Amino acid sequence: MAETLTITALGHEGDGIAETASGQKVFVPFTLPGEVVTADIDGERGHLVSIITPSPDRIAPACRHFTVCGGCSLQHWAPEKYQAWKRELVVHAFAQRGIETEVNPVIPVAPHSRRRAVFTLSRTEQGVVLGFNKRESHDILAIEECPLLVPEIETRRDKLAALADRLMDRGKRARMTVVSTDTGLDVSLEGARKPGRADYEALGRAAVDGSISRLTVDGAEIFMSRVPEIRNDPIVLYPSAGGFLQATASSELAMADLVDAAIGKSGGPVLDLFSGIGTFTLKLARRFPVLAVEGETKLLQALDRSMRFSTGIRAVTTRRRDLFLNPMAPVELKEFKAVVFDPPRAGAKAQAETLAKSIVPKIVGVSCNPATLARDARILIDGGYKLTSVTPVDQFLWSGHVEVVATFELARKSASKGRPVRLS
C-alpha cells in the first residue's frame, strides 16, 4: 500500500528524503523538499505514486523522457533552488572533512550544450535501437529528444544508428561515444563485430555529407574525412577516439579560466598532472613552460598534435606516467611554481600526499567528485596549504554530479592534523 510522506530534503543523488511512520528513512525520486506525496515503499526506496502538495519550486521538465530515462534526475526543480542545492553538495563534502570554507556560487551551463554523448545500442528485429538505459534498468530507451545534447548530435540520432546497423548482430549490444567537434562528429563504436571489406565501403559513404569526421570501431579507424578538431583560437584540441573530454565547451572554458586566474603571475614552470588532451596545459602554456603528465598514451598523442598546431604557446613537455602508482615526489616538485591536478572521480590521494610535503607555492585541484576533492584538500591543508577558493561548475546539468575547482597556497605548516579548520 502507498504511504503518505513529507519530503524534508534531497540526497546527494537528487532523490527526495522522507521518513515513514515507523521512522525508516526512504529515498523517493522526482520529489522536492516540502512536498507531501504518496509512495510505495520497497526497503529504502520509495516509488512515487502521487503528489498531494507540490512544491512552489516545481517546474515542468524539459524532456518528454524525464523519469523514464536514467540520465537526468532534477529537471523538475526551479534553476535557482537547483543551483543552490548543487552548491550545498560541495559545502557538505568539504564540511565532512572538517573544512569550513566559503563556496562560490555555481557557474551554470545551458541546455543543449553537452558535446559528448555515450549511447547504448542494441539490435532488434526492427533494427538498431540507439538511446540511454532506462532508470534502474538495463533496457534501452530509444530517445526521441535530449535537451542536454548539442543539436549536432541530437538531430543525427538516426544517422548514428544507421552507422551501427551493419556491424551489429541481433540480440547484441554496443556502446557508441559521440563528440561534436568543429569539423564534424567524432564517432567511436565499441562492442560491434569486426567490419569486412563491404562494410568499409558502405560505412565510408557516411562521410560524404561531412557531418561525421571520423568513425572508429573497437579502436580501428574505419574512415576519417577530416581530422576532428575543437578550436579555441589560438588553441586547437584534438580529441582521442572515444577518449576523455570535458562534457561541455562552456564549462571547459570556465574551468580553464579559473585555473589560469589561480596561477596568476606566479611564474613558471607549471606542472599539469592528469593532463588529458591538454585542456589546461595549452592555455597555461601561453604564459609559462608546462610539463604535462598523463597515464594514457592516446591522450598524450592527442596533446602532442595540439602542441604542433596551436599557436602562441611556450614550451610544453609531456611525460607518460601512472600517477596513481607512481606520483610525482617532493624532490621532483620543487622546481615548479604551480601545480594543477585534474584526476578521475577516484581523486588523487597518493599525489596529494606528496604535494602536501612539497614547497610548491600554488596548487589548483579540479574534480568531478567533491567528496574525493575534499579528501585531497584535507591532505593538503594538513600539510601546510591554505584553501583560498572553491568554485562549483554545473557541467552535469540536471544530475547529482558537479565539477569543482579549488585553489591552494603554501602557508605556514599547520599542527591541526585532522581537526576542523575554519577558512576565511
Tell me the residue length of the chain: 424
Q: At what angle do helices 79-95 and 370-382 cross, to 10 degrees?
A: 40
Give me the residue label for grid cell 611556450.
314
Position 154: which residue type? E
Asked if 368 is an active-site residue, the reply is: yes
* Cell numbers found for residue 117: 554523448
Q: Which of 63, 69, 72, 368 is catalytic?
A: 368
Cell representation of residue 414: 599547520
Q: What three-state secondary structure class fits 238?
A: coil
Phi, psi at residue 287, to the nearest 5°? -120, -25
Q: How many CB atoms lie within 10 A of CB 1?
A: 6
Q: How far apart are CA 167 and CA 154, in angstroms?
A: 22
Q: Which of 40, 34, 30, 39 is nearest to 54 (CA)?
A: 34
Please give the full DSSP string across 354-377, using - where no structure is assigned: HHTTS--SEEEEEES-HHHHHHHH
Q: Which are the catalytic amino acids?
A: 368
